[in-house]
Amino acid sequence: MTIYSHSRLESFKSCPLKYKFNYIDKIKREEEGIEAFLGSRFHKVMEKIYKELRFRKYSLGELLDFYEDDWNKKYHDKIVIADKERKAKDYKEIGKKFIEEYYKRYDPFNQGKVLGIERWVIVNLDDKGKYKLRGIIDRLDQVKDRTYEIHDYKTSKSLPEQSEMDEDRQLALYQIGIQNSWNGVDQVELVWHYVAFDKEIRSKRTEEELDELKKESIDLIKKIESTREFLPNESRLCGWCYYQDICPLYKHKYMIGNLPANKYLKDSGVKLVNKFAKLDDKKKGYQTKIEEIDEELEEIKEAVIKYAGNIGVEVVMGSDHQLKITSSEKINVPGKGTKERESLVELLGQLNRLEEVSGLDAAELKKVIKEEKWDAIILEEIKKLVEIETVKSVRLSKSKRED
């Protein structure tokens, strides 16, 4: 049985292919973002403050010395700084500022009784123990009114809105784990420390909200475990991904490297892209030749799709342009009067779903399948009676190249 984590679930939601690389293929990368490295160093200082608090209170100077020493020992040449205008020392100084402001705000650190530091927690999502999560709580406190506080430190440079944190999954899951561990844990408050802004954000969850979170988490785990094709999901997070060299959206860029433009033309894929771009411009200027150009574009589309499939990429780079190959599902519902249609109507009737698609309106049924509005098991049965074909298309855009 796989025991999941919040980060594992979020990884799948953000990009199923990255999830596969990390958790299934277990392809590890040595690279580490400077932001993550800074966050780890700050967490170590917090751990030192509260872990030793019952024996002694460290001075601010001692903590800054500890931070400096820990940074120097742990820093390595695989740390990546995406912001070209910043250097490691800039982030190191920011970390010092975070520590100083936190220390001044919470000294003498007696706001509550510390029950755990970097505490592992197991979260049972169902009564049978089939679905479990685990995680590490940065700090668990109990305050005077017997409220339990789950603390989390954030060194992020962006400050979320209250509404966003009221829907946050991670600490709410940890609340479920704490309530499973001890009796009498009724009052729980979730606390995030956004140290870049010297600001706390607090939130509480009702039992109904926690029950809904359990259900959503189980549904997400079921979706992960039923997934057979882990497709890439392009987003702004791709710029921080360490799997670009094996991702079909970025792989081709790494294959051709930073060669001069004249050497690009040796690459068959690049030739196809360049020709596509040239003919696309010609089409716009000479409408009288539109049919002739369209025919040639279709031939190049077919060629570039085959080329991309042969080398396992989804983006093919040219000198100044790129072609992105996308796949979509086309759902064909059996026509009226066919045996397949009758079987589909009979199945929907047995499942008590016929009225939900207006007695089998094709457009409504397609929407249900595409948006996965029904339970996965029901959808699997329905998909056996409809035709789903994969349609590939090609989109041309300017290359996003770095000088």
128 and 178 assigned to the same domain:
yes
193 and 253 assigned to the same domain:
no
| Of the candidates 245, 301, 239, 295, the residue with the CA atom closest to the CA atom of residue 276 | 301
User: So what's the pLDDT on residue 291?
Assistant: 79
21 and 138 assigned to the same domain:
yes
342 and 307 assigned to the same domain:
no
77 and 219 assigned to the same domain:
yes
133 and 214 assigned to the same domain:
yes
339 and 319 assigned to the same domain:
no
209 and 290 assigned to the same domain:
no
User: So what's the pLDDT on residue 225?
Assistant: 95
User: So what's the pLDDT on residue 391?
Assistant: 86
Q: Structural domain of residue 368, as residue ranges?
A: 334-385
d(CA 42, CA 195): 10
Q: Judge whether 329 and 388 are in contact, CB under 8 Å.
A: yes
Q: Is residue 242 part of a domain?
A: no
Q: Is residue 16 part of a domain?
A: yes
Q: Is residue 235 part of a domain?
A: no
304 and 157 assigned to the same domain:
no
The count of structural domains within the chain is 3
Question: Mean pLDDT, consecutive 10-residue segments, the chain of 403 residues?
Answer: 92 96 94 95 98 94 98 95 92 98 96 96 93 96 93 96 95 96 92 98 96 96 95 89 92 74 67 85 74 87 91 91 89 88 88 84 86 87 87 87 49
User: So what's the pLDDT on residue 403?
Assistant: 43
